[in-house]
Amino acid sequence: MSKIIELKDVVKSFGGTRAVDGLSLSLEEGGVLGFLGTNGAGKTTTIKMILGLLSPDEGTVSVLGGNPADPSVRAGLGYLPEAAYYYPLLDAPEVLAFYGRMSGMDESTIAERTEDLLEDVGLAHDAWNRPLKTYSKGMLQRVGIAQALVHNPKLLVLDEPFTGLDPLARRRFRQLIMRYRDAGGSVIFSSHDLSEAELICDSVAILRRGRIVFSGARNDLAGDASVNLERLFLSKLAESGDEEAKEALK
Ligand SMILES: Nc1ncnc2c1ncn2[C@@H]1O[C@H](COP(=O)(O)OP(=O)(O)OP(=O)(O)O)[C@@H](O)[C@H]1O
Ligand SMILES: [Mg+2]
């Protein structure tokens, strides 16, 4: 199996802050990787390096076998940002058309994909032709997920995709991810929602202070019913010296 993402010994600092501190991470083709960690651990910074939006100070980043700053590599990526900003005067189909055209899709394919994706994410029909400035938080998040998928990317990069979604939307979203994965897509997503993450990831990486404190396949843990993701998360943080996690485990 080929590696879709490969980061080796990556370091990224902002002034005196070492946001990512010697991180190595990989994702095999067809995998769904849950990228977990406390606030400020370096998840978004790492994700931006995977997308080629930031370059590492040290180490190497390979995505889809190339450099993510290369437009031909970027064309294979779908991205849901942590705080998505879309043009407020566009409606949802216009947003999807905008991103679809940027990816070189033709108008009829865009129209077809738009219809399917807005159905899949369950955006209420009465909102389809309203400007985004009238959307609720979860409605915007649904548009963001559809936007990330519009050009049928090879790798989906999602920064906290569950934020703002109601339970029905979460269910839809899980199904969408599973279908995308079954069709050959690969996914990395960051999340603080460990119970949701547990339902969709094949492997997890836990980040603390810019370093990976655990990475492994979920299957390796499945034999032990007492190991849920929250417990694993707390125990790996505790092992790496996190006092609050140690307290929480008492
Ligand atoms: N542009 C920036 N300038 C200065 N510091 C930054 C910048 N971006 C990130 N940082 C710092 O890097 C560290 C990691 O931030 P990052 O956004 O990657 O964390 P995160 O794991 O995504 O957190 P969260 O769960 O809160 O989204 C933090 O200390 C943050 O303050
Ligand atoms: Mg973040």
Taking the complete model, does pTM exceed 0.85, yes or no?
A: yes
Which fold would CATH assign to domain 1-76+154-163+182-243? Rossmann fold (3.40.50)
Could you tell which of 10, 12, 13, 17 is best to mutate to test the pocket of ligand 1, judged by most ligand atoms within 8 Å of the CB? 17
Q: Is the pLDDT of residue 222 over 60?
A: no
Centre of ligand 2 to C-alpha 207, Å, is 12
Residue 68 has φ and ψ, to the nearest 5°, of -65, -15
Domain boundaries, the chain: 1-76+154-163+182-243, 80-152
Q: What is the mean pLDDT of residues 4-31?
A: 96
pLDDT digits (tens, 9 = 90+) for 171-200: 999 999 999 999 999 999 999 999 889 899
pLDDT at 83: 84
Residues paired with residue 37 on neighbouring β-strands, in sequence order:
207
Q: Is the pLDDT of residue 223 over 60?
A: no
Q: Is the pLDDT of residue 221 over 80?
A: no
Q: Is the pLDDT of residue 149 over 80?
A: yes
Cα radius of gyration rounded to whole Å, the chain: 18
pLDDT at 183: 96
Centre of ligand 1 to C-alpha 150, Å, is 28
Scan for tokens 């994909």, then name that residue: 113
State which ligand 1 atom lies nearest to the alpha carbon of 192: 25
Could you tell which of 38, 43, 191 is best to mutate to test the pocket of ligand 1, judged by most ligand atoms within 8 Å of the CB? 43
* Beta sheet of 77-80, edge-to-edge order: 77-80, 155-159, 186-190, 32-37, 203-208, 211-217
